[in-house]
Amino acid sequence: MNILNLVKIAYQALLRNTTRALLTMLGIIIGISSVIAMVNLGQSSQQSISDNISSMGTNLIMVMRARNVKGGGGVNTGASNVQSLTVDDVEAVRKYAKYVSAISPSVTASGQLVKGANNMPGTMQGGSPEFLEIKKYELESGVNFRDEDVRTYAKVCLIGQTVVSTLFPNEEPIGKEIRFGKIPLKVIGTLKSKGQDGRGQDQDDIVIAPYSTVQKRILAQNHLQMIYASASSEDVADLATQEIERIIRRQHGLSDDQSNDFDVRTQAEMLEMMSSVTETMTALLTATAIISLIVGGIGIMNIMYVTVTERIKEIGLRMAIGAKSRDVLWQFLIESAILSLVGGIIGIILGLVLSYFIAMFTNMPYVVSVGAVIASFVVSAFIGIFFGWLPARKAAKLDPITALRYE
């Protein structure tokens, strides 16, 4: 008996029990769609993080205070006294660094923003005039603050579009005042929208002011929380990082056996770290989805055993009129493979649709993993053959006379 006839027989047998066939395929459908959705979601998340980090420039360098500091002899001194970043560090880097094109101090404060009857919780970011260039913010209207504003602790600010829409829903904000806590600030510019970053934070919910204003008038402190810098180009980002580290170590008077009391990180390192996290989460979620695939395969095996038992007389009759054991084996293997492949195809389509809607509702790019689609199709075929083998083998080994007498 040729393969085409066996496919027709298997197809007709499945049509006689459509409901059972659909329920049998359900485990495969859920498993395949889950795998497709999880892999696509992981790649979408990774792409979103990559796009957001790249939008800030891979030549961005961040200097922050160290969490733990080791002194001479490797003794951990903790982080309680590590408030070491100062404006002097910024000026030293600006003066001596060859591979740094722009640098800005950074201090941050949280508080309530108020304009008339409108108010909202907000973040005040202090920086120098270069802060916008380094963090890739652009002016929508108005002007940036100047070095003179930094020197005089001027009470001026730039606001993001989230702040604009909340505090100034029906008016032009330029020239108006907002209050951050008890400090009045004049709005001199608005920023173009940047949307969410890779961590899902709203980059437009921001107020930017001269760092000296935030430092002295709001936080009443002398140290900096961070320093942002831009390398001259992506090609020299590593050289700029080494240069910054060397200059700040010299500024802090650290000896060779002392570890840094600050950390220097690049966007490339951040991207690598975030990618590693998303890959791990994707692997865990995919492993969970694969379990449902195995369950679906076991479901196919159980149903094929039931099918063999129900059709023992039919098998005996076929063998009595000349069908060979291998024909019976192939017949039930093909039935199992059809169940698995059809379930796999439906699962792939459902997984693609599901991942599309997840990406749409989470504002992430829609990424399709072609490898996952091909692998899912191959795996569904393998599951049909693997889990259908034992029931098919049982059917092929039946004695025709015993099968014909079966009640």
SS3 366: coil
Give the separation between CA 110 and CA 231, rounded to whole angstroms. Answer: 29
More confident residue, 132 or 289: 132
For residue 200, report the phi and psi dihedrals to the nearest 5 degrees.
85, 10
The sign of the dihedral angle between the CA atoms of 147, 148, 154, 158 is negative
pLDDT digits (tens, 9 = 90+) for 151-190: 999 999 999 999 999 999 888 999 999 999 889 999 999 9
More confident residue, 325 or 187: 187
Residue 402 has a pLDDT of 59
Give the separation between CA 193 and CA 337, rounded to whole angstroms. Answer: 52
Rg (Cα) of the chain, in Å, rounded? 33
Residue 315 has a pLDDT of 66
To 10 degrees, what angle do helices 325-361 and 3-16 make? 60
For residue 123, report the phi and psi dihedrals to the nearest 5 degrees.
-115, 130
For residue 70, is pLDDT > 80? no
**Does the global pTM surpass 0.85?**
no
Asked if 82 and 65 count as a contact pair (C-beta separation under 8 A), the reply is yes
Residue 200 has a pLDDT of 62
Asked if 43 and 369 count as a contact pair (C-beta separation under 8 A), the reply is yes
Asked if 61 and 228 count as a contact pair (C-beta separation under 8 A), the reply is yes
Asked if 188 and 145 count as a contact pair (C-beta separation under 8 A), the reply is yes
For residue 81, is pLDDT > 50? no
Domain ranges of the chain: 3-52+273-405, 83-260
The sign of the dihedral angle between the CA atoms of 380, 381, 384, 387 is negative
Give the separation between CA 57 and CA 134, rounded to whole angstroms. Answer: 8
Give the separation between CA 394 and CA 263, rounded to whole angstroms. Answer: 66
Tell me the mean pLDDT in the region 192-220: 84
Amino acid identity, position 385: I
CA angle at 83 for the pair 82 and 85, rounded to the nearest 5°: 115
Give the separation between CA 298 and CA 323, rounded to whole angstroms. Answer: 28
Asked if 237 and 268 count as a contact pair (C-beta separation under 8 A), the reply is yes
Give the separation between CA 276 and CA 78, rounded to whole angstroms. Answer: 27
Tell me the mean pLDDT in the region 368-373: 80
pLDDT digits (tens, 9 = 90+) for 94-126: 999 999 999 999 999 998 999 988 999 988 999
For residue 53, is pLDDT > 70? no
Give the separation between CA 292 and CA 295, rounded to whole angstroms. Answer: 5
